[in-house]
């Protein structure tokens, strides 16, 4: 049994159910699809693109050590993928396709079209869960409805979570390498060099693991206090790695749980608060999965689409450039422009400033953030702006 494992926002080999299962039951070949035109339509910016490419290079090295060849498909849009992936499956004589579920609408449409194309060629398609700690649909109200507010979601999440969310899969055992060449990975994509953000944000699992270990050793115990002060290095800076899937949320949760003597609640207040942030991440992903209108650029709370936003292009430009005259807002926007990242408290301040002070449509801010952020993530960004 030869399985084509399709990597997307899960650029790692550890705790990768699709790869793990494929290698446990046969032979794996990996593929990644570069869809620059589609991603640009989704407002993915140069920082995120460069980070993804650098992480892909790191993944290629890890796959190589496991004897798994990596192929690359360069196609402008998701619509090109059913045919391109089936052609590759024919060429490599694979029996099945495996990937992890993704939740935004266009990604779900893409995956169902690709699934149909593979099923039409009598190949199995294995869809695994990995993007969240608890799968969307598993945290519901007593009436079976999705939650729309975080605190009750968190309560139910904590009372439902099982051992699976704390048991990351190991790195698979190496396989005998099939006679398939590796792709030559590009050093740049869509005009963006791979090393654009690598000084500050080197891609790949090794760096993610290093950051996680350092955070747990040095900072997590004070996280509940320090995270409120943007001038401190009080947070994990793991967001680009979690967004690209260079590390899994399950690996992060398991490490925090171990550091808290095997507890999710109680114990150290810093660790407990950090675990809450991982639950926030789940919450917004569940929202995206369960409320498709959010993926269409519509307000989560419908009545908010009736807000008469101001058209104020000059003020919007001043906000983007960090020239509002409000020092905290300007410092934050310059941090974003210079580093591709912004502290959570500053994301909240600058988002509030744009929407509640300048009364400019949150979608303008969402788009600008997505364009600049190295950790740009549709669910977290949209959730942050809608909040
Ligand atoms: P830590 O404080 O160490 O938290 C650990 C992890 O938990 C983060 O890496 C992230 O994966 C997750 N997390 C933390 N806070 C949140 C949150 N509020 N919502 C969802 N997940 C969270 N995060 C992104 O990853 N990508 C985005 O595009 C993004 N856009 C945002 C836009 C706005 C307006 C706001 C208010 C928040 C946004 N966030 C986004 C959430 C949060 O600000 C960042 O995840 C966090 O600042 C990243 O820093 P860190 O890795 O040091 O986080």
| Cα 58 to ligand 1 centre (Å) | 23
Q: What is the pLDDT of residues 268-287, one digit of tens each?
A: 999 999 999 999 999 999 99
Per-residue pLDDT band at 376 (split at 50, 70, 90)? very high
What's the chain's length in residues? 387
Please confirm, yes or no, whether 39 is among the known catalytic residues: no
Overall average pLDDT of the 347-371 stretch: 98
Please confirm, yes or no, whether 314 is among the known catalytic residues: no
**pLDDT above 90 as % of the chain:** 100
From the list 6, 274, 319, 385, the catalytic residue is: 385
Joined tokens for residue 276: 């809450």
Query: So what's the pLDDT on residue 162?
Result: 93
Ligand 1 pocket residue status of 380, Cβ below 6 Å? yes
| Cα 68 to ligand 1 centre (Å) | 32
Query: So what's the pLDDT on residue 298?
Result: 96
Q: Cα–Cα distance between 97 and 30 in angstroms, integer?
A: 10
Per-residue pLDDT band at 365 (split at 50, 70, 90)? very high
Beta-sheet strand order (sheet of 2-7): 70-74, 27-34, 2-7, 96-100, 124-128
**pLDDT above 70 as % of the chain:** 100
HEC profile for 169-234? Answer: CCCCCCCCCCCCCCCCCCCEECCEECCCCCCCCCCCHHHHHHHHHHHHHHCHHHHHHHCCCCCCCC
Query: So what's the pLDDT on residue 260?
Result: 98
In the DSSP assignment, the letter for residue 26 is: S
Nearest CA to ligand 1 atom 10: 239
Query: So what's the pLDDT on residue 153?
Result: 98
Tell the burial category of 195 from Cβ atoms under 10 Å away from its Cβ (0-12, 13-18, 19+): middle
Per-residue pLDDT band at 13 (split at 50, 70, 90)? very high
Residues 210 and 58: beta-carbon distance below 8 Å: no
Per-residue pLDDT band at 150 (split at 50, 70, 90)? very high
Query: So what's the pLDDT on residue 156?
Result: 98
Q: Cα–Cα distance between 135 and 290 in angstroms, integer?
A: 11
Strands 27-34, 70-74: pairing is parallel
| Cα 201 to ligand 1 centre (Å) | 16
Please confirm, yes or no, whether 6 is among the known catalytic residues: no
Query: So what's the pLDDT on residue 102?
Result: 98
Nearest CA to ligand 1 atom 34: 384
Query: So what's the pLDDT on residue 264?
Result: 97
Q: What is the pTM of this model?
A: 0.98
From the list 91, 93, 187, 309, the catalytic residue is: 309
Per-residue pLDDT band at 46 (split at 50, 70, 90)? very high
Phi/psi at 290 (5° precision):
-105, -10
Query: So what's the pLDDT on residue 291?
Result: 97
From the list 39, 201, 274, 280, the catalytic residue is: 280
Ligand 1 pocket residue status of 239, Cβ below 6 Å? yes
Q: Cα–Cα distance between 204 and 51 in angstroms, integer?
A: 9
Per-residue pLDDT band at 54 (split at 50, 70, 90)? very high
- b/e per residue, 80-103, with b = 16+ CB within 10 A? bbbebbbebbeeeebebbbbbbbb
From the list 206, 272, 277, 315, the catalytic residue is: 277
Adjacent-strand bridge partners of 188: 193
| Cα 373 to ligand 1 centre (Å) | 11
Atom of ligand 1 nearest to the CA of 239: 9
Closest Cα partner for 60 from 93, 128, 13, 23? 13
| Cα 279 to ligand 1 centre (Å) | 11
| Cα 349 to ligand 1 centre (Å) | 14
Overall average pLDDT of the 143-151 stretch: 97
From the list 157, 201, 319, 362, the catalytic residue is: 362
For the chain, give me the number of helices (H) and strands (E)? Answer: 16, 7
Q: What is the pLDDT of residues 92-142, one digit of tens each?
A: 999 999 999 999 999 999 999 999 999 999 999 999 999 999 999 999 999
Query: So what's the pLDDT on residue 280?
Result: 98
Q: What is the pLDDT of residues 212-267, one digit of tens each?
A: 999 999 999 999 999 999 999 999 999 999 999 999 999 999 999 999 999 999 99
């Amino acid at each position: 049994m030869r399985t084509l494992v399709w990597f997307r926002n899960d650029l790692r080999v550890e705790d990768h159910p699709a790869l793990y299962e494929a290698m446990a039951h046969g032979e794996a070949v990996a593929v990644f699809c570069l869809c620059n035109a589609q991603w640009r339509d989704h407002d993915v910016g140069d920082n995120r693109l460069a980070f993804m490419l650098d992480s892909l290079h790191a993944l290629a090295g890890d796959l190589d050590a496991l004897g798994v060849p990596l192929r690359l498909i360069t196609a402008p849009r998701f619509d090109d993928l059913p045919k391109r992936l089936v052609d590759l499956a024919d060429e490599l004589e694979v029996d099945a396709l495996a990937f992890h579920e993704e939740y935004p609408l266009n990604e779900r449409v893409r995956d169902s079209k690709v699934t149909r194309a593979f099923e039409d060629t009598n190949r199995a398609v294995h869809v695994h869960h990995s993007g969240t700690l608890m799968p969307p649909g598993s945290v519901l109200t007593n009436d079976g409805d999705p939650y729309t507010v975080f605190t009750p979601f968190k309560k139910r999440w904590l009372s439902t979570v099982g051992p699976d969310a704390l048991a990351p899969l190991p790195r698979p055992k190496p396989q005998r390498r099939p006679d398939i060449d590796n792709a030559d990975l590009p050093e740049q994509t869509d005009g963006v060099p791979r090393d654009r953000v690598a000084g500050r944000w080197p891609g790949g699992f090794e760096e993610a693991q290093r950051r996680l270990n350092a955070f747990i050793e040095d900072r997590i115990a004070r996280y509940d206090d320090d995270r409120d002060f943007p001038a401190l290095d009080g947070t994990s800076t793991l967001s680009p790695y979690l967004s690209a899937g260079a590390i899994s949320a399950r690996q992060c949760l398991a490490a925090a749980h171990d550091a808290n003597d095997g507890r999710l609640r109680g114990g150290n207040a810093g660790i407990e608060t950090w675990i809450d942030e991982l639950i926030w991440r789940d919450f917004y992903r569940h929202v995206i999965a369960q409320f498709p209108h959010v993926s269409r650029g519509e307000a989560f709370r419908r009545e908010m689409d009736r807000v008469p936003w101001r058209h104020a292009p000059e003020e919007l430009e001043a906000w983007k450039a960090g020239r509002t005259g409000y020092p905290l807002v300007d410092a934050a926007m310059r941090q974003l422009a210079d580093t591709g990242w912004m502290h959570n408290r500053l994301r909240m301040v600058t988002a509030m400033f744009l929407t509640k002070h300048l009364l400019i449509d949150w979608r303008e801010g969402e788009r600008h953030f997505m364009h600049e952020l190295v950790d740009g993530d549709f669910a977290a960004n949209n959730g942050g702006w809608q909040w």
